[in-house]
Amino acid sequence: MNQSRSILIIITGGTIGMMQDPFSGALKPFDFDKVLDYIPELKNFGYNLQSVSFNPLIDSSDISPEIWQDLAEIIESRYNEFDGFVILHGTDTMAYSASALSFMLENLSKPVIFTGAQLPIGALRTDGKENLITSIEIAAEKQNDIPVVPEVCIYFESKLYRGNRTTKVNAEHFNAFQSANYPYLAEAGVHMFYNREFILKRKQQESLLVYRHFNNQIAILKLFPGMNRDYMDSILNVKGLRAVILETYGSGNAPTEIWFLKRIEQAVAKGIIVLDVTQCSRGSVELGMYETSRHLLNAGVVSGYDITTEAATTKLMILLARDLDNTEIKKLLNTSLNGEITLPQ
Ligand code: ASP
């Protein structure tokens, strides 16, 4: 137990932002002052736990870049006061929010742990209680006075994942998230096991830099056999479009038909960035491996490697809002900024 740790709990909403009255069953907004009645174990930490709550609390389907800005600003303004941050958030879009925050908070040297629940705190079989307790423990964990996990993460159902590697894959089970292309960073069993070699190393002396702006002139074009040409045209001709995430098959493959390729070439010629992200949850885009992706490479399509759609979307929106030209943006898309892609050796 360490008395000196301070953790800020930021409550945005979602199922974990609700508490179920054990007698009436009614759901009420999470009141952190009352949470100690439900989770008296929190007192055992002996930490200075403080909270800030969004008003109103929101279902995570209503998450927007403005909320990400609010979150980043809370963290930035209280960065020096706290050893770590825990964000209570609905699970539905948690992977987008964790990805966004990972790109917004450059030089982060403290833990920012997102967590949520499939059943509200107060419900008999809630998963929220354990998720909250362990997230606080991880946010406070230090070795030689240096935070063990200086990253934006998601903690859920005994696993800690890098935030920008996760996807919500299960709407039913407690085990709701996966990080298919990157190992988990920690596992809570009888002991906490930290997968140290996979955790980002940070330069503690660099100061936090926050990218707060987003440009949403992007689109996602998911391929499917039989795709209508007009549908593709309507997406690629959206006014002001700056980038499109092309969700391709397998290792980044797409039809070889001339009409399809022509449209991709025209988009690239207009200055639209086309980022190839595979529809497969595991594995990476390898442009040029098959004839069905060589033509994309020749057309100027950019490889997304093994990035998730959630990370690709938020990374693009942040890069497009920075004062960068397309060449620089493409270079950064092919750079692992915060561990979001695995580059070929
Ligand atoms: N609909 C809820 C949300 O994402 C579900 C949850 O919290 O898990 O806000």
pTM of the model: 0.95
Predicted local distance difference test score (pLDDT) of residue 263: 97
Residues 63 and 143 occupy one common structural domain? yes
* Residue 61 alpha carbon to ligand 1 centre in Å: 7
Question: What pLDDT score does 142 carry?
Answer: 96
Domain identity same for 185 and 232: no
Domain identity same for 67 and 177: yes
Range of the domain at 40: 6-210
Question: What span, in angstroms and rounded, lies between the C-alpha atoms of 111 and 113?
Answer: 6
**Cα–Cα distance for residue pair 216/65, rounded to 1 Å:** 9
Residue 102, ligand 1, Cβ within 6 A: no
Helical packing angle, 326-333 and 309-321, nearest 10° = 150
Report yes or no on 342 lying in a domain: no
Hey, which of 89, 92, 93, 96 would you mutate to test ligand 1's pocket, going by the most ligand atoms within 8 Å of its Cβ? 92
Per residue in 86-95, is it b (16+ CB within 10 Å) or e — as a string?
bbbbbbbbbb
Domain count of the fold of the chain: 2
Atom index in ligand 1 nearest the CA of residue 93 equals 4
Contacts of 247-250 with C-beta under 8 Å, sequence gap 24+, read 247/220, 247/221, 247/222, 247/223, 247/277, 247/278, 247/279, 247/309, 248/223, 248/276, 248/277, 248/278, 248/279, 248/285, 248/293, 248/296, 249/223, 249/278, 249/279, 249/280, 249/292, 250/278, 250/280, 250/283
CA of 89 from ligand 1 middle (Å) equals 7
Going by alpha carbons, the residue nearest to atom 6 of ligand 1 is 90
Q: Are residues 133 and 270 in the same domain?
A: no
- Assess whether 188 and 67 both reside in one domain: yes
Terminal-to-terminal C-alpha distance of the chain: 42
- The answer to whether 72 touches 210, Cβ cutoff 8 Å, is yes
In testing the pocket of ligand 1, which one of 11, 12, 15, 20 has its CB within 8 Å of the most ligand atoms? 15
Q: What residues are labeled active site?
A: 15
Ligand 1: residue of 60, 97, 170 to mutate (most ligand atoms within 8 A of CB) is 60
Q: Does residue 73 contact residue 101 with C-beta atoms inside 8 Å?
A: no
Using a 6 Å cutoff on CB, does residue 91 contact ligand 1?
yes
User: Quick one: 142 and 174 in the same domain?
Assistant: yes
What token pair was written down for 234?
Answer: 């309507």
Examine the domain organization and report whether 255 and 271 are in the same domain.
yes
Ligand 1 center to 34 CA (angstroms)? 21
Domain boundary among 183, 210, 237: 210
Structural domain contains residue 339: no
For residue 150 and ligand 1, the question of a CB distance below 6 A is answered with no
Per-residue pLDDT tens digits of the chain, which is 345 residues long: 455 899 999 999 999 888 777 788 777 777 777 777 778 888 888 999 999 999 999 999 999 999 999 999 999 999 999 999 999 999 999 999 999 999 999 999 999 999 999 998 888 899 999 999 999 999 999 999 999 999 999 999 999 999 999 999 999 888 999 999 999 999 999 999 999 999 999 877 889 999 999 999 999 999 999 999 999 999 999 999 999 999 999 999 999 999 999 999 999 999 999 999 999 999 999 988 888 888 999 999 999 999 999 999 999 999 999 999 999 999 999 999 999 999 998
Indicate if ligand 1 lies below 6 Å from the C-beta of 116.
yes
Residue 14 in contact with ligand 1 by CB distance below 6 A:
yes
126 within ligand 1 shell (Cβ under 6 A)? no
- Mark which of 161, 190, 210 sits at the end of a domain: 210
The domain boundary residue, chosen from 165, 193, 210? 210
At 2 the pLDDT is 52
Residue 127 CB–ligand 1 contact under 6 Å: no
**CATH number, position 327:** 3.40.50.40
Torsion, Cα of 23, 29, 32, 33 (10° steps): -60
Question: How much distance in Å is there from the Cα of 91 to the middle of ligand 1?
Answer: 5
> What are 170's two structure tokens?
């299960």
The whole-angstrom distance between residue 269's C-alpha and the CA centroid of its chain comes to 31
- Helix locations, 5-164, DSSP H: 32-38, 42-45, 65-77, 94-104, 128-140
- For residues 163 and 150, the answer to whether their CB atoms sit within 8 Å is no
Go through the chain and tell me how many residues it has: 345
**Other CB atoms within 10 Å distance of the CB of residue 50:** 14
Question: Do the strands 105-106 and 209-210 form a parallel or antiparallel pair, or are they unpaired?
Answer: antiparallel
Give me ligand 1 centre to Cα 273, in Å: 32
Q: Which of 194, 209, 118 is nearest to 160 (CA)?
A: 194
**Are residues 206 and 223 located together in one domain of the fold?**
no
Q: What is the pLDDT of residue 292?
A: 83
Assess contact for 114 and 9: CB atoms under 8 A.
Answer: no
